[in-house]
Amino acid sequence: MRYFIFVFTDKEGFGFLYRMLICLAFKNKEGLLLIDKFNCDCASLEEFRLAREAIRENLNKICPAYSMQLFVAINEAVNNAFFHGINDHKGTQVTIDIIRNKQDLCIRIKHNGEGFIPEYIDCTATSEVYNDSGRGIDIIRHYVDSLEFSACGREVTMHKKLK
Amino acid sequence: MKVNITVMDNKVVIKLEGSLYVEDALLLRTKALAYFQKGHNNFLIDLSQVDYIDSSGLGALVALQKRALEHHGALKLHGLTGVVKELFELTRLNKIFEIV
């Protein structure tokens, strides 16, 4: 098994735009480059905006069959972190960890902000369809096999079984 | 995301292209509300070139539809495909929008 280390940093001089992306990758039997671990730190929604395409591309390499579904789940979870968990506190950041095992893909999104009580985030199953917000968690649940909040809402872990 | 807005036969046609994220949702809402202030109340939003819309984008469309109805007008959607169509269905928003 051949291992590579990729380090992506920003080239546009905005400081650490999406701080650093470190991927451990290997080639499978067919010679396809797979990445089994992916990490991204974002200190603002702007940094996450700049990191989105890299996340999409890496998900497509990690897990092409579910890449869009997983991207949808990650995008909603990171939006929740910035809008419901952090509350614009300075010095906070959101960390996205994606780890692929043989039969499972684990996504963990954590932040060091105030957190929130997950039960207070409404879902479409119980909320009015005409509400302007409250759909994110329900969308995440649709696309992953398990969703778990911990650390007072500062951390969310999602699992997707790979077939 | 690219936003192209034209007015045809007193109908505001908003053609979107790309992915509709949280920052785009705010932009879309602001641009569309400007047309309400000019007296328009009929909107057609073309999503045929949109490959993804997040929950804030869905929320923005709901808010604009409510505003259109308050102004005795309508907001219709066109061209839902792929993940975008799936997201409308799983959030049941396909039941409240007129999709043409």
A31 phi/psi in degrees, rounded to 5 = 85, 0
The A-side interface with B (CB below 8 A) comprises 45, 49, 52, 68, 71-72, 75-76, 79, 83, 124, 129-133, 135-136, 138-139, 142
Q: Minimal Cα distance from B59: which residue of A?
A: A132
Burial class (CB in 10 A: 0-12, 13-18, 19+), A41: middle
**A159: pLDDT strictly greater than 90:** yes
Structure confidence by residue, pLDDT tens digits, B8-57:
999 999 999 999 999 999 999 999 999 999 999 999 999 999 999 999 99
Residues of B in contact with A144 (CB under 8 A): none
Q: What is the pLDDT of residue A133?
A: 80
The ipTM estimated for the assembled molecules is 0.92
Chain A touched by B75 (CB under 8 Å): no
Which B residues 20-39 touch A at CB under 8 Å? 21-23
Burial class (CB in 10 A: 0-12, 13-18, 19+), B4: exposed
Structure confidence by residue, pLDDT tens digits, A31-81:
445 557 888 899 888 899 999 998 998 898 888 999 999 999 999 999 988
Each as own residue / partner, the long-range contacts of residues B34-38 (CB below 8 Å, 24 or more positions apart, any chain) are B35/B5, B35/B7, B36/B67, B36/B68, B36/B71
**A142: pLDDT strictly greater than 90:** yes
From the DSSP assignment, how many helices (H) and strands (E) are in chain B?
A: 3, 5
Q: Which tops the pLDDT comparison, B63 or A120?
A: B63
